[in-house]
Amino acid sequence: MRSIYEQLKDNLKDGIIDPSFSLNEDDGSSIKWAPGAKDGVYIYHSQPQDFYEEDIQKIAQALECACGDDLEKSDEIFHEITQNMSAIAMIDVFEQYVIDHQKDLDPLKIYRTAVYLIKNSRHIECVKTGMELLELMKIDEDTKEVIRTLGLYDEFTIFAAYVMRKWPSGNNEIFEMARKVHGWGRIHCVELLEAENEKIRHWLLTEGCKNEVMNAYSAYTCYEKANVKELLNKQPTYEEYKGISLIIEGLLDEGPITGISEIEDDKVILLRFLEISENYDLTVSDYDAILTVSMWADENGEDYREISQICEKILHSEKCRSKVKEALKEGKGLRLADVMGLPMAEELYECLKKDFDSNYRKVVYVMNDEKYVEPTIRLFKEHLPLEEMNEGTDTDFKHNDILQFILQELDPYPGKGIELVRAGLKSPELRSRYLSLEVLKKWVRKNQTSLSFISDELYEIVKELKNKEDDPKNRDLINELIRWEERFSE
């Protein structure tokens, strides 16, 4: 197996890591983490790990080995200790031990081991450990290039940034790296990046908050570093306004991390944002951000009633209504249209017909209109390989994902979409079976009739499933349907 560094080099395209590439290392866990996610969760949502004397001894043993000449053995020992201590958790203890014992450790051999780990190890945590060691050292240009490459993969970005910040042009190195990563790596870069010039400040305003994890993680940091409060008191350009809007949406989402509650004059900030909003030709996405503000204000009571009222005025303007109606033709603006009470089944059905794969998730809005129920069911039947799914040989979870969206909308329509329900009952995917059984339960209750009256075939499938189903919830639904059947046969 090739080293991690070699794998990343092989997947470099146009200065970034191929987005489809993923490192795979079996750590024995059933949970598969996105690159950098495990460390991100530790940093933002976990208490620091406690370290004991035996842990320190293991670190000492590994460093003692690093001072020897057996580089492969060093890799093995570091791999062993990182099975129970992640690199991110032990970083402070690890580096402090090196500092405290620098007289006893040969710096050249430690350096050689660190370089070996980052270039040759096949173990993710060992590569991180090598990077942690290099944070304490002055490194040559060739090694800097290795760090730059590793940093382009979200799993290693934070460790690369820690090393880079000691370089003469470290802040600019972190900035260039931040622009090339889009997951947890960007979140970490934004935290470490200093807005030392207008170019970086502008990027933090317009792009720093955008990541593939959750914008909320970087919202407050970008608010502070991009001087949003000061900018609001001027007349921002539309591009700047878009950045402010994105940051405010992130601030209001305090699920993962505190945001708006960190701002003492939050009401003033939101009122000013709404005031300047009327200076621009707003798009549907802009109005959607204002809807987010409106919903937040409604949830936070009387103190924010003025904000709610201004939002309502903007969102119920003819200009907004017109923009949303136009957006519906492209399958956009659904949240706004829903709040406004605009009919959208016709437009979204047309979107389904034109581009089913991009729009099937919007079926909930189409099935609300009974006129489109049967045509929509036909579309799903045309786009799903039902024959394969009925034979239980289809293991493509994308097909099950599509099926599940339509199954959730069949409850009010007894007897319609039987072929789709059948595919769900025969699916190897647990949730597809569950949703189909739920549909059948709703159908028999709504009609106050037996399942066999609706479909003998589906009843026979349910009886067969009784002897195969392992899931307790699904078994309960099966037993309920059979008891219901017996009630009508008495």
pLDDT digits (tens, 9 = 90+) for 317-357: 999 999 999 999 999 999 999 999 999 999 999 999 999 99
CB burial of 278-315 (b: ≥16 within 10 Å; e: otherwise) equals eeeebebebbbbbbbbbebbeebeeebeebbebbeebb
Q: What is the mean pLDDT of the chain?
A: 91
- In this structure, what token pair is assigned to residue 64? 């003692």
Cα separation, 247 vs 228, whole angstroms: 9
User: Which of 158, 193, 228 is the C-terminal boundary of a domain?
Assistant: 193
Q: What is the 3-state secondary structure (H, E, C) of the chain?
A: CCCHHHHHHHCEECCEECCCCCCCCCCCCCCCCCCCHHHHHHHHHCCCCCCCHHHHHHHHHHHHHHCCCCHHHHHHHHHHHCCCCCHHHHHHHHHHHHHHCCCCCCHHHHHHHHHHHHHHCCCHHHHHHHHHHHCCCCCCHHHHHHHHHHHCCCCCHHHHHHHHCCCCCHHHHHHHHHCCCCCHHHHHHHHHCCCCCHHHHHHHHHCCCCCCCCCHHHHHHHHHHCCHHHHHCCCCCHHHHHHHHHHHHHHHCCCCCCCHHHCCCHHHHHHHHHHHHCCCCCCHHHHHHHHHHHHHHHHCCHHHHHHHHHHHHHHCCHHHHHHHHHHHCCCCCHHHHHHHCCCCHHHHHHHHHHCHHHHHHHHHHHCCCHHHHHHHHHHHHHHCCHHHHHCCCCCCHHHHHHHHHHHCCCCCCCCCCHHHHHHHHCCCCHHHHHHHHHHHHHHHHHHCCCHHHHCHHHHHHHHHHHCCCCCHHHHHHHHHHHHHHHHHHC
Mean pLDDT of 427-433: 90
281 vs 461: CA distance, rounded Å: 57
Give the tokens for residue 420: 């789709």
The confidence score (pLDDT) of residue 372 equals 95
Count of CB atoms situated within 10 Å of the CB of 37: 16
Computed over its alpha carbons, how large is the radius of gyration of the chain?
28
Q: How confident is the model at residue 291 (pLDDT cuts 50, 70, 90)?
A: very high
The boundaries of the domain holding residue 150 are 1-21+31-193
Q: In whole angstroms, what is the distance from residue 343 CA to residue 211 CA?
A: 33
Q: Please report whether residue 176 resides in a domain.
A: yes
Q: For 106-121, how does the pLDDT look when each residue is reduced to its tens digit (9 = 90+)?
A: 888 889 999 999 999 9
Q: Give me the residue label for tokens 């489809």.
A: 20
Within-domain flag for 287: no
Res 394 pLDDT > 70: no
Contact of 228 with 205, CB cutoff 8 Å: yes
> How many domains does one find in the chain?
2
What sign does the dihedral 262-293-212-430 (CA atoms) show? positive
Q: Which range has the top average pLDDT, 69-78, 200-209, 380-389, 461-470? A: 200-209
- Whether 11 is covered by a domain: the verdict is yes
> Closest Cα partner for 241 from 254, 226, 225?
226
Residue 17 lies in a domain: yes
Say if 110 falls within a structural domain.
Answer: yes
Last residue of a domain, one of 193, 224, 250: 193
43: domain CATH number?
1.25.10
**Mean pLDDT in residue range 286-304:** 94
What mean pLDDT is predicted for residues 414-436? 92
**pTM score of the predicted model:** 0.84
The pLDDT of residue 485 = 83
**pLDDT value of position 17:** 94
Residue 74 pLDDT > 90: no
C-alpha 356/C-alpha 359 separation (Å) is 5
Are 377 and 417 in contact, with CB atoms under 8 Å apart?
yes
Per-residue confidence at 30, pLDDT binned at 50, 70, 90? low
Q: Quote the pLDDT of residue 94.
A: 81
* All residues at 6 or more sequence positions from 47 whose CB lies less than 8 Å from its CB, including other chains: none
Q: Is residue 466 part of a domain?
A: yes
The answer to whether residue 404 scores a pLDDT higher than 80 is yes
Tokens 């492969």 found at? 72
Is residue 348 included in any domain, yes or no?
no
Q: Looking at 193, 210, 238, which one is the last position of a domain?
A: 193
Q: Is residue 229 part of a domain?
A: no
Nearest to 363 by CA among 333, 400, 404: 404
> Residue 35 — very low, low, confident or very high, per pLDDT cuts 50/70/90?
very high
Can you read off the two tokens belonging to residue 178? 């931040």
